[in-house]
Amino acid sequence: MKNRKIKEEIISLLIDHVRIIYSIISDMGVYYTTWAEDFEANKKSLEKKKSKMQLSEEEGDELKIRLIQNFSEAEAFNLGDYVALVLKMDNVINYPLEFVDMLTKISLTGKSAKEIKKKYHKLINQIMEMAGILKTAIKNLRDNPDKVFDNTTTIHELESEIDRTYRKFLEFLYSNVEDIRILLRIRDSIVLLEQLADRIHDIADVMRVLLYQ
């Protein structure tokens, strides 16, 4: 009985945590759209959006600490993988902040700028879709466990799509961007996005383990 109660309490905190993840990734998407419209003209609103993301990061960190402190006994109840899950989830949060930091160092000009923005947009939209499925999957751990396997399968499929989008983006950069500094900055920024997708994929893998406990 105690095992079940601890498990329910942990899942409630995980649901709170994944809401923060979804919020920060959504804010990253809004930040990108505003940046793509006109970085210089929108500097003030971008700073506000970044501050909101930083507050979300702090909130996520507080939740992680609370979970680890409150459920240090989880391992004894064979629930250690639930604590491992929140650590995996916490790893996700840094990537959107690093990405928006990097965007401020990128200036897109010339004939390839429009196509680069479209490719960014596609990659970010795919990651936002992935984050939405993750939020549903974590909620389903509590409300509808039978659906979690399907949710994680969708995350795996999206990760494969994101890999393809990422590789096409890289190919385009190497073929069309001559300024090496800009090329490397864009490349580094999309590496962050691809790693963000990988971290969500890692969470899905841990969730599959939980299904069989």
pLDDT tens digits for 102-130? 999 998 988 899 999 999 999 999 999 99
Question: Tell me, what's the pLDDT at 168?
Answer: 97
What whole-number distance in Å separates Cα of residue 164 and Cα of residue 161?
5
- pLDDT (tens digit, 9 = 90+) per residue, 124-158? 999 999 999 999 999 999 899 999 999 999 999 99
Closest Cα to residue 157, out of 125, 201, 211? 201
Cβ atoms of 24 and 93 within 8 Å: the answer is yes
Is residue 12 predicted with pLDDT exceeding 80? yes
Cβ atoms of 203 and 88 within 8 Å: the answer is yes
Is residue 77 predicted with pLDDT exceeding 70? no
Q: Would you state the torsion angle of the CA atoms of residues 72, 75, 76, 77, taken in this order, to the nearest 10 degrees?
A: 110
Helix/strand/coil (H/E/C) assignment for every residue in 45-113: HHHHHHHHHHHHHHHHHHHHHHHHHHCCCHHHHCCHHHHHHHHHHHHHCHHHHHHHHHHCCCCCCCCCH
Q: Angle CA(43)–CA(55)–CA(57) in degrees, nearest 5?
A: 110
Is residue 175 predicted with pLDDT exceeding 90? yes
For the question of whether the overall pTM of this predicted structure is more than 0.75, the answer is yes
Average pLDDT on 47-76 reads: 84
What whole-number distance in Å separates Cα of residue 200 and Cα of residue 156?
9
Cβ atoms of 99 and 196 within 8 Å: the answer is yes
Question: Tell me, what's the pLDDT at 133?
Answer: 98
Cβ atoms of 99 and 193 within 8 Å: the answer is yes
What whole-number distance in Å separates Cα of residue 63 and Cα of residue 43?
30
What whole-number distance in Å separates Cα of residue 124 and Cα of residue 29?
6
